Amino acid sequence: MTSYRQPGVVLTDHTFDVPLDHARPDGERIEVYAREVVASDRADAELPWLLYLEGGPGFGARRFVGRQAWLGRALKEYRVLLLDQRGTGRSTPANRQTLPLRGGPREQADCLAHFRADAIVRDCETIRARLTGGAPWTVLGQSFGGFCLTHYLSTAPEGVRTALFTGGLPSLDAHADDVYRAAYPRMRRKVEAHYARYPQDVERARRIAAHLAEHGPVTLGGGYRLTVEAFQSLGILLGSGEGSHRLHFLLENAFVRTPDGHELADAFREEAHALLSYAGHPLYALVHEAIYAQGGRPTEWSAQRVRGEFPEFDAERTLAGDAPLLFTGETVHPWHFDVDPSLAPLRETAELLASRADWAPLYDASRLSGNAVPAAAAIYHDDLYVDTAHSLATAEAIRGLRAWVTNEFEHDGVRASGGRVLDRLLALTRDDL
């Protein structure tokens, strides 16, 4: 273990050896990395642990500096563990460069089937036994981290002292099709709200889409091909508190005049590439729909199929008329594996995952109905990424869970609020409110 300091905190690196497949503990092993954080003035104190599960899938734990965001509140009473879930961050990577070590697409898909919430929770339990001496810990689950926490309460509630959900209560039984049928209308509402705030962006977005439709894809940094559909996917920004403003600032300087006419500006291309590329989080694209898969049904590119039920998102149809262009949100499509060089070598692997039908159930409604772990959830009203109705139904299904429904924040409320969201959730679990 290596320890070092940042302002106000002491950090310690941990690496844990875990089975790739927990059903085969004597089989292949992978590494899972986690960063311990403790207030510098309490570094030697006996403190309870708080485990943070990041959103995603496919993102390593956020790299805080000092006591940023919610971390300052947590460090008042906890020793915090920021987990890089398997395949992410400093854990054994799973990407276009490493997956071929396993063989062809079939072997790669079989490997990635072990990167869902069930395996992540088994990792957590392995780590907890080694780190806390078996004592349960408080778990804070953001977004997909809350999906993992729901599985945790379904399978190993004895490991959880307190369960805190932020924008992360999944439906217990919805298929991916149900998730996206609920998602596209939310996407439309978020885009309409953006245009109400920035009406000038209606023409700007149409102009960019028309340019791409007329001249063909524009090659961005790293070879990413910006198509009309890829441009629409920038709507994923609209799920965060500052996202609408970021999208506006991106659109306002999209074009420059050149000797050959107007072209998309280099600055626009650079920022769009940074926002759209999956190079830093390829697992998100590979297993995103699989996080909704259970009950023996394949996902079969659910977001793409369901999109066809909402023709207002068809850019060609929009450009033929005078309607505002609709952006899309948290959806992964087959074309992502055509336009993004970091995903292109994994196209066949993704197809195999999309057709896979042997997904195990992730949640146990019966066990959740008897939950005895103090639990609280922040449910962000009209959250772009997680359906409010699905979250409310699950909140009701988890015995004793106290739900706080708010439109004060978007999906990133736990971070954007400083310590306020975390503080309120802790108070709810302690009957202080």
- Give residue for tokens 């791409």: 212
pLDDT over 80 (residue 66): yes
Q: Which of 84, 114, 143, 201 is catalytic?
A: 143
425 alpha-carbon distance from chain centroid: 21
Sorted by where each begins, the domain ranges of the chain are: 2-173+363-429, 176-355
Planar angle of CA 345, 346, 352, nearest 5 degrees:
145
Tell me, yes or no, if 91 is annotated catalytic.
Answer: no
Q: How confident is the model at residue 296 (pLDDT cuts 50, 70, 90)?
A: confident
381 is catalytic: no
Q: How confident is the model at residue 71 (pLDDT cuts 50, 70, 90)?
A: very high
pLDDT over 90 percentage in the chain: 97
Q: Is the pLDDT of residue 301 over 90?
A: yes
- Among the listed residues 177, 342, 411, 417, the single catalytic one is 411
pLDDT value at residue 432: 84
Residue 362, pLDDT score: 97
Q: How far apart are CA 183 and CA 72, in angstroms?
A: 33
Topology (CATH) of 2-173+363-429: Rossmann fold (3.40.50)
Which secondary-structure segment (H or E) carries 355?
Answer: helix 347-355
Q: How many helices (H) and strands (E) does the chain have?
A: 18, 13
**Which band of pLDDT confidence, cut at 50, 70 and 90, is reported for residue 336?**
very high
Mean pLDDT along residues 216-227: 96
221 vs 153: which has the higher pLDDT:
153
Q: What is the pLDDT of residue 1?
A: 77
Respond yes or no: is residue 358 known to be catalytic: yes
pLDDT at 433 over 80: no
Q: Which of 358, 366, 431, 432 is catalytic?
A: 358
Q: Is the peptide bond before 57 cis (omega within 30 degrees of 0)?
A: yes
Query: Per-residue pLDDT averaged across 171-189, rounded?
Result: 97
Mean pLDDT over each residue of the chain, to the nearest integer? 97
* pLDDT higher than 90, residue 295: no
Which of 80, 3, 20, 16 shows the shortest CA–CA distance to 48? 80
Q: Could you give the CA distance from residue 427 to residue 280 in angstroms, rounded to a whole number? A: 36
Say what the pTM is: 0.97
Residue range 327-347: mean pLDDT, rounded: 97
User: What DSSP designation does 290 have?
Assistant: G
Q: Judge whether 327 and 275 are in contact, CB under 8 Å.
A: no
User: What confidence score (pLDDT) does residue 85 get?
Assistant: 98
Query: By three-state DSSP, how is residue 375 classified?
Result: strand
